Chain A
Amino acid sequence: MLNPLDIIKKKRAEAINRIIGKGYFSTIRVYVGMASCEIAAGSKEVMAVFEKAIKQGLNDVYLSQKGCSGRCNLEPTVEVVEENKIPVKYGLVNKDRAKTIIDKHIKKGQVIEEWTIQ
């Protein structure tokens, strides 16, 4: 009989493996805010832009929804996270900005400074 601590250790390891299996170690991770405040500000459309890009062949990107980080007036928010780089936080992202983030930041590595949350 396993004790609760062993069970949870195993479950955590399994969970992490499943996350890795979904491509967590991709070069770039993209998180889109999806709480009701973010959705009201338009984050579903933003998510759709990223989903479509991946479907159309955008490679090596781990896309995930996330909750709300509490920065109401800059929603919808999107984070672009890469190993060994400072995570980039974008605010007021709409459909067009999402497309530009894909073209410039994700494909060419150019951070769009004026849209970042400082």
Chain B
Amino acid sequence: MDHSVTPQYKIILCWGSSCQKLSSKSILDRIHQKIDELKMGNNVDIILSGCLGMCSKGPILIINPGYYIYGKITPEIVGEIIEKHINQNKATAAYLIEEDHLFNRFYRIFGDVKFYGRQMRIALRNCGIIDPESIDDYLSVRGYESLAKSLALFTPNQVINEIKASGLRGRGGAGFPTGYKWELTAQEKSSEKFIICNADEGDPGAFMDRNAIESDPHTIIEGMIIGAYAVGAQNGIIYTRAEYPLAIDRLHIAINQAKEHGFLGNNILGTNFSFNIEIRQGAGAFICGEETALIHSLEGKRGVPRTRPPYPATKGLFNKPTVVNNVETWANIPVIIQEGAAWFSSIGTKNSKGTKVFAVAGSVINTGLVEVPMGTTLKEIIFDICGGLPDNKTLKAVQIGGPSGGCLTKDHLDIQVDYESFAEIGTIMGSGGMIVIDNKSCMVKLARFFLEFSQSQSCGKCTPCREGTKRMLEILERITTGNGKPEDIQKLLRLGNTIKKTALCGLGKSAPNPVISTITHFRNEYEEHINEKKCATNDCSALIVYEINDACTGCSACIRICPTKAISGIKKNKHQINQNLCIKCGDCFDICAFKGITRR
């Protein structure tokens, strides 16, 4: 909508699936009709929001300014509500509801912006609305209330049952049910148990954990304390990347504040439960995001993984039962305790409950963090929330899950994001990196990029990963430099599938995913590189050929700039490029003022 001034009112109508079932479509029609009747079209913005999480009181309508929430509205009554509110400045009290939830507080400030409005903020609920260095701010948004509730009203077992019933699954990638993991640790008889927050966010392209820690550190700490109470742990460790200095600072501040207020330390909130948290910095090894490698690193050893079982839940840090969950998982815990498992499990799909945060980057207008209910389609995320691709570029692929994930095509845009549907099409949820790729990028080179990454981060312990990824990378290197052989595609697939089956840990098992999925969906590009020695996107510089065309004026600018003296010719006559000497740097192409050089 184009307005010369900000409209006076913004009406938010919940467009979540539950409200839609309850006739929110006819409500919308009625709203439009009423606004037209009142001739207020220029003064009112109507925004359709994602699920606002108040399904039991739906359909939900919110009128801003003032953030008046109306519940259980009907097409019959909505006209009256609007007329009274907007024309007579009176709220219809019978339909007003008082809501003070932990989630979606964010909406009060950001709900009228489309990018935020279609999101549902549970894990990132406080990011961008509170001062992360102030525990007062966190307390004011009902911080540490879930901890108090757990300690006052729940036994440890009841906390575990609540988390189990919520259906929460690990947000780090593999998606193991969190409650069951806790139960395993709780059942172990041990005088010492540990809680670990895995903040070794390593996937290139994922930054939601950094953001969550920097913007709302207390949420993670509160989640960990609740987890410690549930499983009977005395000590917790946050393992974070040394590359995140601000996140580390803010965690230190938050831990000290929590200690001062008696949320950490001995006899928490006057009970006989005690728990402490320390921060450990990683030392730059991607593999340490794998839980057994992370534990080795915490023990002061080389960060190499080991075979499981035994799982860390029974034998973890120093061989003691240990719960390892990632940042986003911990951030969900306080909300589940406060709002209840039944509420949480009403969000999402059959087997994937709650929301997932994606870090959307690449060729997309609105880059940023997007938290949506499981079951949202890729199309909604990329086009409705992130505004689609810039400059009318065409979507070619969506890369999900970083170096462990795979590429999807535009045919997959209607897929609902959850653990199962991603697994079905050969990718993984991973930590939630989502990179939008347009027609200008070469998929073979992209596969090489990811494999190069995984290969460089292979710890070297098991042969399939150490040697296998190296061989795969060699093949990809020759394909992207014009030396590919017809049998290479088969070789890549065979090697890739073998590594997937035989590697020791998640890094190795998933390293071939980017290659296999690009072969599945973009096989023609591989064939073009191999058979025609051509890269349609000009991304593979070694396959580019530079030639001088008839527009050449013989100015000699290219001769002077060529680093290998591959160009020759007499002044004011057409020059030539010696292809044997050309290193395809493109400097001549860039400097030519007459479009005298063709790139193909």
Contact = CB atoms under 8 A, between A and B. Distances in A.
Contacts of A107: none
Contact of B131 (A1, A36, A66, A87): A66
A67 B271 contact: no
Interface string B213-242: 011100000000000000000000000000
Contacts of B366: 71, 73
B140 A16 contact: yes
Contact of B215 (A2, A18, A35, A71): A35
A95 B367 CA distance: 23
B113 A118 contact: yes
B310 interface: no
Given A79-B109, A89-B109, A39 B65 contact: no
A73 B367 CA distance: 6
Nearest to B357: A70
Nearest to B126: A67
Given A4-B151, A67-B132, A36 B215 contact: no
Contacts of A66: 128-132, 215
A67 B215 contact: yes
A15 B139 contact: yes
A86 B368 contact: no
B214 A67 contact: yes
A83 B367 CA distance: 30
Interface stretch (B142-150, B492-500, B532-540): B142-150
A111 B4 CA distance: 11
B5 A36 contact: no
A67 B15 CA distance: 27
A81 interface: yes
Interface residues of B, number: 65
B110 A84 contact: no
A35 B139 CA distance: 20
Nearest to A12: B139
Given A5-B149, A11-B139, A69-B128, A89 B110 contact: yes
A8 interface: yes
Interface in A29-60: 31, 33-37, 39
Given A3-B270, A84-B66, A69 B10 contact: no
B62 to A, nearest CB: 12
Secondary structure type dominating chain A contacts: mixed
B246 A73 contact: no
B128 A19 contact: no
Interface in B94-116: 106, 108-110, 112-116
Contacts of A84: 65-66
Given A11-B261, A87-B109, A113-B6, A67 B270 contact: no
Nearest to A79: B109
B142 A12 contact: yes
Contacts of A89: 109-110, 113
A97 B415 CA distance: 41
Contact of A19 (B5, B115, B137, B245): B137
A19 B143 CA distance: 14
B65 A85 contact: yes
A70 B370 contact: yes
B133 A69 contact: no
Interface string B140-179: 1011110111011100000000000000000000000000
Contact of B270 (A4, A12, A31, A85): A4
A7 B269 contact: yes
B146 to A, nearest CB: 9
B131 A70 contact: no
Interface in B243-288: 244-247, 261-262, 269-271
Contacts of B130: 66-67
Interface in A60-118: 64-73, 77, 79, 81, 84-89, 111, 113, 116-118
B210 interface: yes
B369 interface: yes
B128 A33 contact: yes
B214 A73 contact: no
B142 A67 contact: no
A68 B140 contact: no
B377 interface: no
Contacts of A73: 365-368
Given A2-B270, A12-B142, A66-B129, A36 B66 contact: no
A86 B6 contact: yes
Contact of A4 (B135, B137, B269): B269
B541 interface: no
Nearest to A84: B65
B451 to A, nearest CB: 27
A69 B127 contact: yes
Most B CB atoms within 10 A — which of A65, A69, A111? Answer: A69
A20 B210 CA distance: 30
* Cβ-closest 8 pairs across A and B: A67-B215, A69-B128, A70-B369, A15-B139, A8-B148, A4-B148, A15-B136, A4-B269
26 contacts: A4-B148, A4-B151, A4-B270, A7-B148, A12-B143, A15-B135, A15-B136, A16-B136, A36-B246, A37-B211, A64-B134, A65-B131, A66-B128, A66-B130, A67-B130, A68-B214, A70-B127, A70-B368, A70-B371, A72-B361, A73-B368, A79-B109, A85-B65, A89-B109, A89-B113, A118-B114
Given A4-B271, A68-B369, 9 more contacts: A12-B142, A31-B129, A35-B211, A66-B130, A68-B127, A68-B214, A69-B106, A70-B369, A113-B5
